[in-house]
Structure 1
Amino acid sequence: MDERDWIILRTLFHENNITKAAKMLYISQPALTNRLKQIEKEFGVRIVERGRRGVTFTHQGEYLAKSADQILLQIQKIKENVRNMENKVAGTLRLGVSNFFAHYMLPDLLKLFKDQYPDIEFKVTTGWSSEITNLLYNQDIHIAFVKGDHSWKECKRLLFDEKICIASKEKIDINQLPYLPRIDYSTDYLLKTTVDHWWAENYSKAPLISIEVDKAETCKKMVVNGLGYAIMPTLELKDIDNLYRTDLTTKEGKPILRNTWMFYHEHSMKLNMVAAFVKFIEGIDLYNFDISN
C-alpha cells in the first residue's frame, strides 16, 4: 500500500459513501472501487460491504481505516525530517486557524512569508478555536492560532488582546439593554461564556434576542443597518467607523479582554519551516496589522 491508498481508506471511512469519497479524492468511482479491490487482495480480507445506504466497513476494514491517520502522520513526519536535513526552509506548513484570523489576517501573512521563503507550501484548516486546539493536541497541525484562553501546556505566544464591546448604529443607554433588540451570532464557547457571565453580573432580565445569524460578518452588517446591537470583539469592527461602541468592563471597571494566541509543540521547532514561521509571526504587530482589505 502507498500513501494514496491510506488516504482512500480514511476518506471512505469518514464519508461512508463511494460516490462522495471519489468526488472528494478527485477520482472516478470505478478507479476507487478498483483500488479497494487491490487493497483487499493485498491483505487477503474484505474491507467493505456495499448496501443501499452506502458502504459498511468490516472489522478488518475498520481497523485498517482507523490506522490510516497514524500512518499518514508518520509518513508526513518522515517527509518533513528528510526535507529538514537539507538545512533549508521548505515543505508544507500545516496551520490551524480560528475563523476571524483566517478571514482577516492570514492571507496577507502567508503572502509575506511566502515572499521570504518561496519553497514553503501551506495546508490550512479553519474552525472554532477549541477545534483547532484539538488538532494541535493530535499533531494534525504544526501551529495553531486561537482566540480565548484555551488550555495548552507547551509553547505559546500571546499575539494580542482586544476588548469586547457593545456595538450599535445609534447611541444607546446600556441600562436599557435588556429591552433593546440584540443580534447574536455563532461563536466559540469561551467568548459566549464570557459575554453570558458579564450579562448575568449586570442584568436580572434575559437579553432580547431579535435576530440570530451564523457569522460575525452577517451580524455586523445587521448592526450597521440599525437592526439591533451586538456584543463583539473590537477587531471584528476595525473596518467600520460609523458605529457607537461601549466596552464591557468588570465590576471593578477593568476592560474585559479576549486574547489571541499562537500555540505549537516544542519539538516542532526542530523543523526549519516551523522555526522560521514562529520567528516571522513574533516580529509582527498583529493588533495593528492592516485588515482593511
Structure 2
Amino acid sequence: MAKHQTWELTQKQALPLDIKIRMTEQRIRDCYNHFGGDVYVSFSGGKDSTVLLDICRNLFPDILAVFVDTGLEYPEIREFVKTKENVTWLHPVSWNKHTRKYERTNFRNVIKEYGYPVISKEVSECIEGARKFIANNNGNYIYRMQQLDGTAKQKDGSPSAFNIPKWRFLIDAPFKISKNCCKLLKKSPFHSFEKETGKKPIVATMASESRLRKTSWLRNGCNAFEKKSPSSQPMSFWTDQDVLRYLLTYNIPYSSVYGEIVEQNGKLKTTKCDRTGCMFCMFGCH
C-alpha cells in the first residue's frame, strides 16, 4: 500500500525553500538517529548531492561522504570532489571467473558483456526483456513485449501508463541494450560498501526526476527504513529550481561544469551543463 498520494507530493513541492530545508533536516536527523549514526552521504559531485552534503554537514559535520569513481565522470566533477574532506572513493569491480577474484572493471567491459544504457532505465530494461521474449519465447518477458507494442493493460482493462511503443524500433538496434551499466558501475560499489561497513545511504534523489523515483516516494516516503536495503531520500520533494536557489542563496561552491547560475524568464538555469551524470551514458540522449 502506498504511503503517500500524488496530491501530497504536489503540495510539498510547492512549499517555500526555507520550509523544505527544515523538513529535509528533520528527515536527516531521523535517519541518523534511527541507525545510530551509521550513515553516509551518497556524493556524486553533482549539484543535487552538493546541496545534500552541505545540509547534512551543517547538522553532523563529521558525516562521511562516499563517491564512486566510475571513470565516466566529467573531469570537473572529479576535481570538485577532491576539494571535499572526509570522502571515501570507491571503484567498480566485477567477478573474474578465471582468476576467481573481484577485479576493477570499466564501461567498456560492461557494454561488451551486457549492452548500452539507452534512453532510460525503464526503456533499456524493456528492450532487453522483449529481446529475450523474441529469442527464446520466454513467457516471463511477454509484458515487456506488450509494453513496446502498446498493448499492456492495467487491472481495469485500460491501457497501461507504462506502454512505450515509440521505442519499439530499438528492438532491431544492431547492439545490445541493458540497464546494467548503472547497476554494476555505480550501485554495486555502494552496496558492497554498505555490506562491509553496515552504513546506510542518504541520497539526493528527487521525485521530480523520473516516474520511477516518484513511484518510489509514493510507496516509501523519504525515509525507507523498512526496505531490504534501507535508505533516506530527504530531498524527494525538492525540485531542480530549489537546488539552484539553495546554491545561489547560501553561496555554496559547486562544480565548474555547470557554469554560472542565472535567471532567465523567471527561472534559474545553469549556463553550461544542466545535468552531469556519466559522460558517455545514453540515458536522456533523446
> TM-score, normalised on structure 1?
0.27
> Relative CO higher for 1 or 2, CA cutoff 8 Å, sep ≥ 6?
2
